[in-house]
Chain A
Amino acid sequence: MIERYLVAASSYAQDIDNLILLIAVLVGFWLVLCEVVFFYFIWRFRARDGHKAEYVSGENKAHKRWITIPHLLVLVCDVFIIYGAVRVWVNVKQTLPPPDATVRVIGQQWAWTFVHPGADGKLDTADDIAKIDELHVEVGKTYHYELSARDVLHSFSVPVFRLKQDAVPGRIIRGWFEPTKTGEYSVQCAEICGMGHGLMGARIMIETPGEHAAWVAGQKPLSLASAR
């Protein structure tokens, strides 16, 4: 359903969409139910001639049930949400499937530097390809990313992947993604990082193996051993 409004282009995007949908449906159900009950009470106990206002202390068992029963039911809903959230979290953030390739992602005010492996498929070799605001990946391949920040906090956000990971100066944070759809999509910074934060956008190009190989072949190597 969410995919109708924002393309899902990673192997875990659908899982995250399903989790968001589950939370939205459960919370939405309780929101609507509560509003209906509140408005019913407002109408049912409206001001009428001959009726004095009454303070309800909540000690009466019949009254307390209006709190305890929904409370227990909400806790049951929480179990479903927590189960779904932990399952997705473990898959996306705590598991690192074996990579086909690794890219280095460096945030700095106000640009993203992406260091791609060259034809040898390895980083930190002479044929590395560094690009500003342009990340090229191959569809169907599992990528690890090494995320760092050169100055202040940034956040590497790829909406079509449903991926968002903070970049912290002094740390190299590793994660993964597997693109599942070709195309050109947005990369954003999702952490306020200074006055140019809103302009810190980049593009991700998800290419077929042939397109990606042609792109790699057409690039001038630019090794950036110091750029981490």
Chain B
Amino acid sequence: MRLPRLLFIALLLVCAIPVAGISGPDADLARGEALFNTCAACHGDQGQGDALLLAPGIGGLSPWYVEAQIRKFQTGVRGAHPNDIAGLRMRPMSRLLRTDTDTKAVAAYIGTLPEPPTRVTLDGDAARGAPLYAPCIACHGIDGKGNPALQAPSLHSSDWYQLTQLKNFKAGIRGRADDPFGVMMRPMAMMLVDEQAMKDVIAHVQTLGR
């Protein structure tokens, strides 16, 4: 009777060694990297994005922003409109992250990935877009790098994605009443009178220093 019990305790201790050995920030990043495998199927192994899959570049995004967006997808604040094609794909994927720790871990890992290089896919006019960007400066900054205090993310991501999101804000697909920071973007997007104005302001953002 005694030997099996000792063996059992010894086995428990052996199992505990690797768990104890990987606690702390490194463990979170390792966990985040493992969880990111699922995201990589669409967003790419370096978070570079894939326009064909409607998956924007997410490498280097601020962890607070990624975390906030995952929570919005999880709770249906974002990605719950029938015409939000890409958002409806993210909605179930976000729910694979079952705990806050996992959400934080994957957000932290995404923050360590390199920012994808600028790739122009739209025919916007940066010169015409410069004055249109003036109202955006208050929150997103003159360099477009965002301001965490105002929950304003960096705008340095795929241009086609920026266009889709501006259209979504304008059409009420994104920025519901229960999304306090998203709802602030709705009137801002409405200031851009048409699609060309959106493309122009995005073209200007693409010229800003990273």
Contact = CB atoms under 8 A, between A and B. Distances in A.
Partners in one complex: yes
Nearest to B95: A199
A205 interface: no
A158 interface: no
Given A195-B41, A199-B93, A106 B82 contact: yes
A150 B41 contact: no
A111 interface: yes
A172 B91 CA distance: 25
B121 interface: no
Interface string B108-138: 0000000000000000000000000000000
Interface in A36-57: none
B150 to A, nearest CB: 29
B86 to A, nearest CB: 9
Contacts of A150: 85
Contacts of B38: 195
Contacts of B82: 106, 113, 115, 130, 132, 222, 224, 227
Interface string A82-100: 0000000000000000000
Given A106-B82, A227-B83, A132 B96 contact: no
A196 B92 CA distance: 7
B88 interface: yes
Q: Which of B42, B76, B81 has the most CB of A within 10 A?
A: B81
B89 interface: yes
B80 interface: yes
Interface residues of A, number: 19
Contacts of A132: 76, 80-82, 88, 91
Contact of B92 (A115, A151, A200, A227): A200
Contacts of B83: 224, 226-227
Interface string B66-100: 00000000001000111101001101110110000
B88 A110 contact: yes
B191 to A, nearest CB: 25
A186 interface: no
Q: Which of B80, B81, B89, B96 has the most CB of A within 10 A?
A: B89
A39 B136 CA distance: 81
Nearest to B87: A111
A196 B85 contact: no
Nearest to A222: B82
A130 B85 CA distance: 15
A109 interface: yes
26 contacts: A108-B85, A108-B88, A109-B89, A110-B88, A110-B89, A110-B91, A110-B92, A111-B88, A111-B91, A111-B92, A113-B82, A130-B82, A132-B76, A132-B81, A132-B82, A132-B88, A151-B85, A195-B38, A195-B41, A196-B92, A196-B93, A199-B93, A199-B95, A199-B96, A222-B82, A227-B83
Interface of A: 106, 108-111, 113, 115, 130, 132, 150-151, 195-196, 199-200, 222, 224, 226-227
Given A108-B88, A227-B83, 5 more contacts: A113-B82, A115-B82, A130-B82, A132-B81, A226-B83
Instruction: In the A-B complex, list the 10 residue pairs whose CB atoms are closest, starting with the nearest.
Output: A199-B92, A113-B82, A111-B88, A110-B92, A196-B92, A130-B82, A132-B80, A227-B82, A109-B89, A195-B41
